[in-house]
């Protein structure tokens, strides 16, 4: 029972991080139909921001988790910069494939740029512990406060984001652009600035995910975003890309699959199971669990 609960808690905690990242993927994909490969690397950007801000905040006597504000701002700025400098020019001239290759290139640029900055360097950096240790004991397993906070925060973020896209003017503009860019332009929506803001919000969420991730695994490396980003992408596809509750659901499922397969089957094969899920979903129900199936138009 204890082992089962431990795996469950680990899975839920990992799942919340994946879900937060998947939300960013889903928002960007929904609006410009581009898999933003660099999205995982925004988490790396956020983690390094935390690495620099957490000690400063400690000195000032402020709670360390407030560093998340800086992380969100830096991530959003980086996200918008990539859109302005790489994706927008390519969108004008290129095809879907060139856009995707650009995304891979941007991801490589971010990873290698981080190494090239002298204050960061190629070695892993340890981020000091952010949340207080301790937690609730439950029949042999410990539900730590950090786990609880992670799960609650991701649920709250999802709820806020969902109501944002439903209720506010900007959220409605986003949905309109993702449905039909030309019609949205005719309705007086500034398509380019809407896309830019979507990038900002998606990347900002990666900043929150960075806080949650380094609270669990306190090391920031320049390639940490690659696998994390891939799992989150699998989560987004599993839930139905473009759907906010879907990204959340997908994130939790992937987190649970990962933690249970590494606890009960083999830790070295856990990632294989995650990719097998992706392949199975794409073959059986390509639109995902909560996505809408859209037929191909000639």
Partner 1 sequence: MTNRNEKKAGGYLLNTLLSAAVIVLAAMAPQLGASVKGVTILWQLCYFIILACSLNLVMGFLGQLSLGHCGFMGVGAYAAALISLAFQRAGIYTEKSGAAFMLVLLICILAAGLLAALVGLLVGIPALRMKGDYLAIITLGFGLIIVNIINNLPFCGMGGLSQGSAAPALYANGLGFVAKQLVSYLWIPVVLTIVCVAAMFMFVRSKYGRAIMAIRDNEIAAAASGIDVSHYKVLTFAVGAFFAGIAGAIFAMCSSTLSTASFNFTSSSILNSTFIVVMVVIGGMGSLTGSSAAAVLLYLLNYTIKNGKWVHALPLFMRQAFAYPMLVYSIVMVVVIIFRPHGIFGTYEFSLYNSVSELFSGKRGKKVPVKEAAENE
Binding site for partner 1 (CB under 8 A): 29, 33-35, 86, 89-90, 93-98, 100-102, 104-106, 108-109, 111-113, 115-116, 118, 223, 226, 230, 233-234, 237, 266, 268-269, 271-272, 275-276, 278-279, 282-283, 286, 298
Tell me the CA end-to-end span of the chain in Å, nearest whole number. Answer: 55
Q: How far is the CB of 204 from partner 1 (least distance, A)?
A: 23
Q: How far is the CB of 264 from partner 1 (least distance, A)?
A: 16
CB atoms within 10 A of CB 60: 8
Q: Which is nearer to partner 1, 9 or 37 (CB)?
A: 37
Q: Which is nearer to partner 1, 35 or 189 (CB)?
A: 35
As separate numbers, helices (DSSP H) first and strands (DSSP E) second, the chain gives: 12, 4
Bridge partners, residue 142, by sequence: 137
Q: Which is nearer to partner 1, 49 or 82 (CB)?
A: 82
Nearest-angstrom CA–CA distance, 230 and 42: 13
Q: Which is nearer to partner 1, 133 or 293 (CB)?
A: 293
Nearest-angstrom CA–CA distance, 159 and 150: 14
Q: How far is the CB of 19 from partner 1 (least distance, A)?
A: 18
Q: How far is the CB of 226 from partner 1 (least distance, A)?
A: 7
Q: Which is nearer to partner 1, 143 or 228 (CB)?
A: 228
Q: What is the radius of gyration, based on Cα positions, of the chain? A: 19
Cβ within 8 Å of residue 7, ≥6 positions away:
259, 260, 263, 264
């Amino acid at each position: 029972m204890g082992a089962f609960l431990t795996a469950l808690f680990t899975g839920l905690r990992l799942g919340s991080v994946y879900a937060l990242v998947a939300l960013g993927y889903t928002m960007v994909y929904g609006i410009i139909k581009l898999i933003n490969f660099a999205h995982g690397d925004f988490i790396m950007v956020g983690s390094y921001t935390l690495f620099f801000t957490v000690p400063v905040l400690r000195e000032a006597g402020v709670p360390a988790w407030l560093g998340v504000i800086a992380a969100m701002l830096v991530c959003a700025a980086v996200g918008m910069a990539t859109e302005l400098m790489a994706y927008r020019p390519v969108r004008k001239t290129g095809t879907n494939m060139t856009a995707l290759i650009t995304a891979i290139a941007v991801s490589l640029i971010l990873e290698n740029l981080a190494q090239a900055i002298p204050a960061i360097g190629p070695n892993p950096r340890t981020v000091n512990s952010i949340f207080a240790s301790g937690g609730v004991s439950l029949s042999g397993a410990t539900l730590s406060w950090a786990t609880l906070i992670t799960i609650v925060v991701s649920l709250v973020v999802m709820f806020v984001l969902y109501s944002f896209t439903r209720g506010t003017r900007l959220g409605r503009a986003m949905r309109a652009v993702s449905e039909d860019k030309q019609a949205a332009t005719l309705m007086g929506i500034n398509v380019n600035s809407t896309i830019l803001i979507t990038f900002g919000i998606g990347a900002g969420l990666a900043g929150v995910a960075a806080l949650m991730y380094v609270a669990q695994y306190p090391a920031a490396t320049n390639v940490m975003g690659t696998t994390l980003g891939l799992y989150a992408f699998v989560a987004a596809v599993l839930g139905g890309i473009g759907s906010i509750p879907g990204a959340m659901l997908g994130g939790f499922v992937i987190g649970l699959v990962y933690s249970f397969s590494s606890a009960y089957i083999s830790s070295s094969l856990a990632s294989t199971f995650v990719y097998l899920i992706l392949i199975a979903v794409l073959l059986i129900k390509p639109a995902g669990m909560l996505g809408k199936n859209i037929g191909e138009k000639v």
